[in-house]
Amino acid sequence: MAIHTPLLDTVDMPEQLRQLSRKQLPQLASELREFLVESVSQTGGHLSSNLGVVELTIALHYVFNTPEDRLVWDVGHQTYPHKILTGRRSDMASLRKAGGIAGFPRRHESEYDTFGVGHSSTSISAALGMAIAAQQQGLDRRAVAIIGDGAMTAGMAFEALNNAGAMDANLLVILNDNDMSISPNVGALQNYLAKLLSSRLYTSVRKSGEKVLGVMPPVLEFAKRAEEHMKGMMTPSTLFEEFGFNYIGPIDGHDLDTLIATLNNIKQLKGPQFLHIVTQKGHGYAPAESDPGKFHGVGKFNPDDGCAIPNNGKKTYTQVFGDWLVDMAATDNRLIGITPAMCDGSGLNSFAEIYPERFYDVGIAEQHALTFAAGLACEGLKPVVAIYSTFLQRAYDQLIHDIALQNLPVVFAIDRAGLVGADGPTHAGSFDLSYLRCIPNMIVMAPSDENECRQMLTTAYQFNGPSAVRYPRGGGPGTEIKQDLTSITIGKGEIRRQGKKIAILAFGSMLTPSLAAAEELDATVANMRFVKPLDVDLVIQLANSHDLIVTVEENAVMGGAGAAVIEALQAMRKNNNVLCLGLPDTFIEHGIHETMLAECGLDAKGIKAAIEKQLT
């Protein structure tokens, strides 16, 4: 009996994919989907979004001459099928591990990864740049932006659409509509219309008609209106055609025949084209289909039933925030919870269920989230913005101009501060202490444990101005959490260990390794708590009684908390020996969080070694 060789085993690169017949592609899609589930179950990562683009990925590499034709994926966490079909199938076991492939497109990883995408809504801008570059260089090359998984909600996408529609570049934008209510009307009629509207026949008839009717302007205008009326009745084209695109769709994004036929037709067209496809997150894997949010980002799980493999069960900082938010909301009906598309990741699920009328998920629109919060604060409400450190960077102008400048009481619960392990440099919160502490009116806090995080959130909420509490991914040292809503004194740190000669000023998550290092060095350790306002009195007290001042933070050294300490010492004309420890001036690749900290010298061993070196 002949042994059947899986098709996927014969396809390592797009060239091999293009050798397959159209009839073989559904089998390839099935095998690719099965491989995805098995692979991600072992490594963790993003699953639902990748299951939803299996057919689209196959169709794109089948029709277009990649990598010469440029594919720009957006959001980047839907590129696992793309990686598998572009020579990295054997590397999927190393996904998001140290030294392995990234969970997002990386230019240095493969020539098929044309643009690095970790944040969202950048694809149309980047692909437009590539299309214009091809035009400038006289190259017959296509640029394709694949935007989906909510990325179309960001203003940047519409800024790019507005600009692209005014240019005569060969740009194709594909909207992967998997959770937006743009159009539910997908079926045989819509697929037929998509093929028709993208065909050469339709295009040539329209152009010929314009030439013929051009001598009779009133008739031409009537014909155009009639055409738009018919298209408007059958497709949701108006918005995108107003931007200057030729709209095609919506079509079934899991129908390979329709996808390939439509893409082949579009490939022959010139100018900006917009293809609208409808897909299902988690498609083909029942647990992910029934709960795509749960399987958006997963740890290791059993592929047979989708059940997660248990972790240590320790409460995370995200959960601490979520519990605090519910408790505080019960005491103050002015509290409003806001998140830019990260309800689950930021810990707002319980709040959203208990207080749905006070919960707002604004989509992937960080700039809007902050100015929306500012408007609420102007009217006496108390907005709490739950946001990842890396995503807050996208709304820096709104933070300064709309909130801090007007001194509005908006609380920022900043999750994923510091290194984030497997998600890597695109998601690392390496810079927030630096970019927050330079803003007037801001209060910036960094908790050293879970209970202190809860206290700081209360402190921030009670403060009549902009405030931020930044905390890392995962859990803390396991400190018991008191369920009251007590606050702490603003701008005051505390001595946690009394020693001699060496004073370690620890900020946030670095208190635990600093205490461990201090035991071997007999050093004093201060839990600084506040980056702004800095406890200058405590800094001066320690400077007067110790030979060496050491600052430790899980943030970039440049411009961070250590820089604030040096500034304070200089202002008081103190000339202490100061050592600043933190993240180096480089982007740190993905890996295991603890290992990454050790490599940066921010574990107990590394802190001790750096201090001993400074003293020699």
Calpha distance 59→421 (Å, rounded): 33
Give Cβ neighbours of residue 262 (< 8 Å, ≥ 6 apart).
194, 195, 198, 248, 249, 251, 275
Total residues belonging to the chain: 616
Q: With the CA atoms of 175, 181, 185 and 191 taken in that order, what torsion angle do they form, in degrees rounded to the nearest 10?
A: 10
Q: Output the CA–CA distances (angstroms, integers) from residue 370 to 337, 378, 385, in the order listed.
A: 12, 12, 8
* Start-end of H helices in 198-245: 200-213, 217-234, 238-242
Catalytic residue chosen out of the listed positions 358, 394, 416, 437: 394
What are the percentages of helix, strand and coil residues in the chain, rounded to 5?
45, 15, 40
Calpha distance 204→193 (Å, rounded): 16
Q: Which two tokens stand for residue 406?
A: 């007007």
DSSP collapsed to 3 states, 455-482: HHHHHHHHCCCCEEEECCCCECCCCCCC
Tell me whether the omega of the peptide bond preceding residue 409 falls within 30 degrees of 0, making it cis.
no
Phi, psi of 445 (to 5 degrees): -120, 150
Q: Is 605 a catalytic residue?
A: no
Calpha distance 14→62 (Å, rounded): 7
Calpha distance 443→446 (Å, rounded): 10
Q: Is 210 a catalytic residue?
A: no
Q: Is 22 a catalytic residue?
A: no
Catalytic residue chosen out of the listed positions 55, 366, 452, 554: 366
Q: Which two tokens stand for residue 541?
A: 């007290």
State the sign of the Cα–Cα–Cα–Cα dihedral 85, 86, 92, 96: negative
Catalytic residue chosen out of the listed positions 83, 281, 358, 532: 281
* Half-sphere exposure for 61 (CA within 13 Å, toward CB): 30
Which residues are part of the catalytic machinery?
281, 366, 394
